[in-house]
Structure 1
Amino acid sequence: MLSRSRHNNYTLILGVVAFRYLITSALPYVNYVPHLGHLVGCILPADVFHRFLDLKGIENIYVCGTDEHGTPTEVAAIKEHVTPKELCDKYYEIHKKAYEWFNIDFSVFGRTSGKTHHEMTQYIFRKLYENGYIFEQEIEMYYCPKCERFLPDRYIKGICPHCGEEIEGDQCDSCGHLIDHHEIIEPKCAICGTTPELKTSKHLFFDLPKLKDELKSWIKKNTHWPEYVRNWSLSLLENIKPRCITRDIIWGVSVPVEGYEDKVFYVWFDAPIGYISFTKELTRDWESWWKNEETRVVHFIGKDNIPFHTIIWPGMLIGARDGFVLPYYVKGVHYITWEGKKFSKSKGIGIFLDEVQNYPYPPDYWRYVLMSIYPENKDADFSWEVFKSRINDELVDTLGNFVYRVLSFIYRFFDGKVPQGELTEKDREVIEDVRKQIEKVESLFFEIKLRDALKEAMEIARIGNAYLNSEEPWKNKERAPAVLFVSANIVRVLSVVLWPFIPESCERIQDMLGIKERSWDKVKEFDFRGKINKPEILFKKVG
């Protein structure tokens, strides 16, 4: 019999993790330039978790790409006087370059406008159709007599019937409710502002109520989800309705049903299928990821995307009856604001990713600050004061100061060779404290509590600083070798445990140490005795 042991959320079989992770972040629309909130809401935390799993030696892939279809793209293209394809080509490059600058380590970054994605979307639709989860119905749709077109989703704007805030599309950004077009108060055409009229149009619907019991049972079993994600999903499920999955537009995946040649699939039907189609673009063995019970799919999303990832998307996977694994974990996080205000490029509020490189701060500064305020449990606010405080007090004074003091002392007084003296009880206690801290950080990573993982990882630097200050090796030559040996190994520890958050800085630390270490499981070994290179200052204060 295989011996098993439980460690938080993962199972070890004979010391080897018995599953792999497929990590996704919500596919960003290509009708806008992303801002810092988009980055920290899903893209950056997924990268941090992906890098941690790499350190652990756990097989994983990070799947993402641009969401290019639907009314958001068509509306934006009309406003910019370009074709939808031209708009998508432009913004795909903007997104791709921005994420590359932030050192986001995607395994694949695809496009939903690609052939593989269109084929996969039609494949899953056919499965749902064959299994009796698709039906046809004539519905009344708003029609703009001036534009001479139906007005699905973002083509119509008005007032949310639930919270009274302005709304554009089929979901309220303020309260999160999904909205049927006929519920919108004071509807207007988003293009010309004309009050629309009602006309009938034939559409296809996904019969979600047929899957309600299966979805409810599945959601209830996921007790490891964030509580509010699980509870909100169960609440929304109680009043679940069939979802219209076709639209009267031209830009999207064509519907393989006779009589629907003039329609395409609703963007939120085809978008999550990108997780599968992009995996297929990455590897021929895509089914070994998506049809394998050993795969744990983890979605990083904003809270506005929760209903799609906990109800509609899993419903599609269940209804296909094709062996697809369901999401293991849905990390739905809250919003981040800019100095108390909602990000707005037109109003000049906030920093957008095409502007970040204009500031004199490297990617790790942004990565660190954003993850330190990662809105896991409640909305968070970004401000220049927060940025300055986190960089100066934490990266510069705590981490950078410790690393430079230790390595410069060794370089100057020990010819760059890490010394080793006889360890005292105090030295062993510090080593044990650091090892316990590493275990705490690891546990938080597996629980996907990434802000807390960063906080506890930085605590290792604080332990190192306190130890160095109390032992004062610059005053005690007899103690100096042992203290610097322990301290140098703490520096090495920090270069590993902080790598998921600030990879460039940690690689610079390892360059100074003369090592290249990417193994979490060896990080507790206090056995580094190498010769270091000339130390350099890691971080500069923000004025």
Structure 2
Amino acid sequence: MGKFNRYLITAALPYANGPVHIGHLAGCYIPADIYVRYLRAKKADVKFVCGTDEHGVPITIKAMKEGVTPQDVVDKYHKIIGDSFAAMGISFDIFSRTSNQVHHKTASDYFLKMYNDGLFEEKESEQYFDPKANMFLADRYIIGTCPHCGNDKAYGDQCEKCGNSLSPDELINPHSALSDAVPIKKKTKHWYMPLQNYEPWLNEWLLEGHKEWKNNVYGQCKSWLDSGLHPRAMTRDSNWGIQVPLKDAEGKVLYVWFDAPIGYISATKELTENWADYWCKEDTKLVHFIGKDNIVFHCIIFPAMLKAHGGFVLPDNVPANEFLNLEGDKISTSRNWAVWVNDYIQDFPDQQDILRYVLTATAPETKDNDFTWKDFQARNNNELADNLSNFVHRTMVLMHKLCGGKVPPLHPDLITDYDRETVASFKFAKEKVENALEAYKFREGLSEVMAFSSVGNKYMQVNEPWILAKAIEKIKKGETHEKYTEADIEMLQKRIDICLHVCLQLAANLAILVNPFLPFTAKKMCHMFKVVDKMLEWENAGASNLLKVGYSLRPSEILFSKIDDSIINKQLEKLAETKKEVLAAAAANAPAPVAEEKPAAPAKPEIQFDDFAKLDLRVGTILQAEKVEKADKLLKLLVDIGTEKRTVVSGIAMHFNPEDIVGKQVTLVANLAPRKMRGIESQGMILMAEDNGKLVFVNPAEAVKPGSGVS
């Protein structure tokens, strides 16, 4: 297990303001569970902690919408989320919540330690205030008309219709979501963490010390650090959250992103009295599993907090995944465009491992990926049913039919080179899966498991024990022209025994290797083999004697059955109905056009169609973005256009932060002659629209595949 004597694995704390969906599972919870189950199989000392994040603006917004208290909201969704995780086999050692008293005390003490050490800056600033409700407003509490698309229900931080990031100052006709009053600016005091003071340390610890981190994580962190860090307020004006533990801080709570990651510490305190072993001893490996939207908090802000406080271990890795889309469209909780986990469990009872399999096989490990119900069906039918389930079922059925229901002997005198090669593949498969899991490459690990299952199917197909059995039957009935002796019959039976012995041992190895990924399936296999779960320990993988000769096994159970089109069509109809409802609601609430604040750009000279046809316009996805040195206006972008990845230099640095545009779709002039800018060859031009001095990407209304042509 290397230099570490214990492991602490965390999965991002989900907001307790709604159920979890498949995007959450694919983003961090299934990868984290796979890794933890693997560590447990290796008998590692590991703790897996999580819980609901129950503070912050999303909770109070949800309470306001539902006409209940924030406590009502978090109580409701903590249970729904916890039940969904348990049903999907996400095996937390503890699933806590940040409303617990132990967390309030832990977070308060943490803040006080930093405060007493002089690590905060006290600052006054002007923030929006509701004079009618007599309270300061978070950006989400301010609603107005979006200056980009005219949506009159845009929030002060984002328009959920067009997706643009906003500030309250940009909204047209802003008003308070609480009282409908026009907000005013008012002075308030907060405590800021001077993150810029930690830049040198972060550059050394992260950029120099963790170059092995995933490219998407490392790249986003580098972009933030290259852009320079700034002080960040660690308190907020609110009545919901952990009160700031200072005398002159009435009506102020800890910033949710200061409070939430401390939830990992408080959950460990709840779990074990030896919590400090997992947080304070240098031989602990701390790994955070998160989605890409949480990278900066877990890789920059929380490590800076841990360093500032002192005495805590730092994350060894943060294997963040990208986003999962649904049927070609971005998952959206506000539009109900999601496959909710609690709904899946009702619609597909006892079929959790199908979803675990599909979400792992298509995991967005290096780029955004797409979940479709047709792919779900195809992967189940072609890979789980026709490969894994087929091999195990045939092995068990033939063992009962041809070997009396017992594990047959191996007969060393008749073993062939092919038999030996197949048995040798047990250890090779273990090594391949292990190497993938150690590198957090869960898709690759699962692929190796399925490849190992294919080895079994091929081995059985080559040996054809059913053909040998028919030959024995014909000999016994005298239906053959040649004369055969009892020794010939015995030899044929021995070859049947050898084949099914190897297949059974391979199937037992499959159970061990598949267990981290598909735990319910591994349990069914153990039941058929009449073995206890101890067989699933990792040290047993690669062995060729897991099932003892002469041992009676239970009848076969089909691990995966094929899914009929009608089942999938019901899910597609459900999504179609959701889309129809969203479109109807949007049409009913269509905003009036926004008055132009300045005349549109004058028309350019008329061109012929042939002039336009020369342009090769492609939709691309921004994979990376970073500032160009000594060029305030330029960003260097890496754009995926389907057939290749292009470097594009664009003069948009004054309008966008690099980290905010990674994953955005853009329209690229793909056949523009390359041009060098600041020593960088730019291979295309991004199309932009200008609206009152603000630049906006020209992109498709719905997500499309990179490389899609524009015509």
Q: Give your verdict on TM over 0.5.
A: yes
Equivalent residue in structure 1 for 2:121, among 132, 135, 141:
135
Q: For the residues of structure 1 that align with 2:212 and 2:263, how far apart are their CA atoms?
A: 25
Summarize deviations over 1:379-420 as a string: whole Å, max 9, x none: 111111011011001110000000000111011121111112
Q: 2:49 aligns to what?
A: 63
Q: 1:484 aligns to what?
A: 500
Q: Give 2:37's aligned amino acid.
A: R
Q: For the residues of structure 2 that align with 1:114 and 1:314, how far apart are their CA atoms?
A: 23
Equivalent residue in structure 1 for 2:540, among 522, 539, 542:
522
Q: TM-score, normalised by structure 1?
A: 0.92
Q: 1:251 aligns to what?
A: 240
Equivalent residue in structure 1 for 2:316, among 323, 328, 343:
328
Residues 462 and 90 (structure 1 numbering): CA distance in 2 closer, same or farther, change over 3 Å?
A: same
1:443 aligns with 2:435: yes
What RMSD over aligned residues (CA atoms) do the two structures have, in Å? 2.5
Q: For the residues of structure 1 that align with 2:440 and 2:19, how far apart are their CA atoms?
A: 28
Q: For the residues of structure 2 that align with 1:156 and 1:197, how far apart are their CA atoms?
A: 11
Moved more, 240-249 or 393-402: 240-249
Q: TM-score, normalised by structure 2?
A: 0.71
Q: For the residues of structure 2 that align with 1:371 and 1:121, how far apart are their CA atoms?
A: 34
Q: For the residues of structure 2 that align with 1:418 and 1:479, how far apart are their CA atoms?
A: 14
SS in 1 for 2:99: coil
Which consecutive unaligned segments of at least 5 residues does structure 1 have? 1-9, 12-16
8 A Cα contact 1:142 1:181, kept in partner: no
Shift of 1:358: 2.4
1:399 aligns with 2:388: yes
Summarize deviations over 1:461-513 as a string: whole Å, max 9, x none: 01110111111122233421111111101100111111111111111111111
Q: Give 2:552's aligned amino acid.
A: K
Moved more, 495-504 or 188-197: 188-197
Equivalent residue in structure 2 for 1:150, among 133, 136, 146:
136
SS in 2 for 1:354: helix
Residues 469 and 287 (structure 1 numbering): CA distance in 2 closer, same or farther, change over 3 Å?
A: same
SS in 1 for 2:454: helix
Q: Give 1:532's aligned amino acid.
A: L
Shift of 1:127: 2.0
1:421 aligns with 2:411: yes
SS in 1 for 2:17: coil
Residues 287 and 369 (structure 1 numbering): CA distance in 2 closer, same or farther, change over 3 Å?
A: same
1:299 aligns with 2:288: yes
SS in 2 for 1:367: helix
Structure of greater relative contact order (alpha carbons < 8 Å, 6+ residues apart) = 1
Residues 241 and 310 (structure 1 numbering): CA distance in 2 closer, same or farther, change over 3 Å?
A: same
Shift of 1:356: 1.5
Moved more, 202-211 or 310-319: 202-211
Summarize deviations over 1:130-162 as a string: whole Å, max 9, x none: 222211111111123454421124323579999
8 A Cα contact 1:434 1:463, kept in partner: no
Equivalent residue in structure 1 for 2:511, among 491, 495, 500:
495
Shift of 1:518: 2.4
Shift of 1:171: 8.2
8 A Cα contact 1:144 1:189, kept in partner: yes
SS in 1 for 2:51: strand
Q: For the residues of structure 2 that align with 1:175 and 1:235, how far apart are their CA atoms?
A: 25
Q: For the residues of structure 1 that align with 2:307 and 2:23, how far apart are their CA atoms?
A: 32
8 A Cα contact 1:75 1:191, kept in partner: no
Equivalence map 1:30-429=2 (5 Å)? 30-156=16-142, 168=155, 186=172, 189-191=176-178, 195-220=182-207, 221-237=209-225, 238-321=227-310, 323-345=311-333, 347-361=335-349, 362-419=351-408, 420-422=410-412, 423-429=415-421
Q: For the residues of structure 1 that align with 2:229 and 2:171, how far apart are their CA atoms?
A: 21
Summarize deviations over 1:50-75 as a string: whole Å, max 9, x none: 11111111111110000001111111
Q: For the residues of structure 1 that align with 2:262 and 2:156, how far apart are their CA atoms?
A: 21
Summarize deviations over 1:345-386 as a string: whole Å, max 9, x none: 554422112312221351111111111111101111111101
Residues 168 and 320 (structure 1 numbering): CA distance in 2 closer, same or farther, change over 3 Å?
A: farther
8 A Cα contact 2:12 2:290, kept in partner: yes
Summarize deviations over 1:8-32 as a string: whole Å, max 9, x none: xx52xxxxx6422111111000111
Q: For the residues of structure 2 that align with 1:434 and 1:318, how far apart are their CA atoms?
A: 44
Q: Give 2:346's aligned amino acid.
A: N
Shift of 1:163: 13
Q: For the residues of structure 2 that align with 1:443 and 1:386, how far apart are their CA atoms?
A: 27
Summarize deviations over 1:144-197 as a string: whole Å, max 9, x none: 3454421124323579999999975768999999x8956755565445666532
Query: Radius of gyration: which is bigger?
Result: 2
1:539 aligns with 2:531: no
Q: For the residues of structure 1 that align with 2:177 and 2:364, how far apart are their CA atoms?
A: 32
Q: For the residues of structure 2 that align with 1:174 and 1:42, how far apart are their CA atoms?
A: 26
Summarize deviations over 1:315-363 as a string: whole Å, max 9, x none: 1000002x10011110111111110112245544221123122213511
Q: For the residues of structure 2 that align with 1:498 and 1:146, how far apart are their CA atoms?
A: 59
1:29 aligns with 2:15: yes
Summarize deviations over 1:70-125 as a string: whole Å, max 9, x none: 11111111111111111111111111111111111110010101111111111111
Q: Give 1:142's aligned amino acid.
A: Y
Residues 152 and 352 (structure 1 numbering): CA distance in 2 closer, same or farther, change over 3 Å?
A: same
Shift of 1:435: 1.6
SS in 1 for 2:211: coil
Q: 2:524 aligns to what?
A: 508
Q: For the residues of structure 2 that align with 1:161 and 1:105, how far apart are their CA atoms?
A: 46
SS in 1 for 2:319: strand
Q: For the residues of structure 1 that align with 2:520 and 2:180, how far apart are their CA atoms?
A: 49
Shift of 1:268: 0.7
Q: For the residues of structure 1 that align with 2:334 and 2:104, how far apart are their CA atoms?
A: 33
Q: For the residues of structure 2 that align with 1:55 and 1:393, how far apart are their CA atoms?
A: 28
| Over 4 Å off, 4+ runs | 157-177, 179-188, 190-195
Q: For the residues of structure 2 that align with 1:445 and 1:218, how far apart are their CA atoms?
A: 24
Q: For the residues of structure 1 that align with 2:149 and 2:94, how far apart are their CA atoms?
A: 39
Q: Give 1:154's aligned amino acid.
A: R
SS in 2 for 1:492: helix
Summarize deviations over 1:220-264 as a string: whole Å, max 9, x none: 201221022112112102321111111111111111112102111
Moved more, 195-204 or 120-129: 195-204
Q: For the residues of structure 2 that align with 1:492 and 1:67, how far apart are their CA atoms?
A: 40
SS in 2 for 1:139: strand
Q: For the residues of structure 2 that align with 1:176 and 1:431, how far apart are their CA atoms?
A: 54
8 A Cα contact 2:4 2:284, kept in partner: no
Moved more, 106-115 or 212-221: 212-221
Aligned pairs, how many? 527
Q: For the residues of structure 2 that align with 1:402 and 1:485, how far apart are their CA atoms?
A: 13
Shift of 1:47: 1.0
Q: For the residues of structure 2 that align with 1:152 and 1:249, how far apart are their CA atoms?
A: 8
Moved more, 122-131 or 88-97: 122-131
Moved more, 203-212 or 189-198: 189-198
SS in 1 for 2:268: helix
Give the fraction of aligned pairs with identical amino acids, expressed as a percent: 40
Equivalent residue in structure 2 for 1:434, among 426, 438, 441:
426
Q: For the residues of structure 2 that align with 1:18 and 1:455, how far apart are their CA atoms?
A: 28
